[in-house]
Amino acid sequence: MRSSARGVNFSAMRIREFLPSDYDAVRALWKRCDLTLSLSDEREEVERMLRRNPGTCLVAEEDGAVIGAVMGGWDGRRGFVHHLAVEPGRRRRGVGRALMAELERRFRDMGVVKITFFIERRNRGVTEFYRKLGYEMRDDIRPMSKTLREGP
């Protein structure tokens, strides 16, 4: 498919594995998308994530530029989605859907049964996006966390 009703040229977009050399471009994308970043998002931590989860951290690129990214992890039981981000000027054009579809395909091929992720309360607009992809909100669980190491 060369284009959609919205005029998006999907043939120019390519989804591929997130490489360590993509870190600076992806980090800049996360900042443009106003994602909450922490010590876990520093280069060393992201590179560890890439090594532990080969093939499930992805970028979307167009004309050599990163326009979207998602990090997927698998703990042996569930697939987890971290930091789906799409260039603000490219949203609502299928980039996020394409990244999630490819991540889901890769998880399915690995035998993952269920995907879990967290949405920050301030990021209300993304909930409908995930609902359209078939995800359901859970109100029977509460996330908890504990910081084991402080960042710089």
18-62 pLDDT tens trace: 999 999 999 999 999 999 999 999 999 999 999 999 999 999 999
Q: Which residue has the tokens 């930091």?
A: 83
Place 6 in a pLDDT band, splitting at 50, 70 and 90: very low
Domains in the chain (CATH in brackets) are 10-132 (3.40.630.30)
Q: Which residue has the tokens 């530029």?
A: 65
Structure-model confidence comparison of residues 5 and 43, the more confident one: 43
Alpha carbons 102 and 108: distance in angstroms, whole number = 10
pTM recorded for the entire structure: 0.86
- Contact by Cβ (8 Å): 100, 107: no
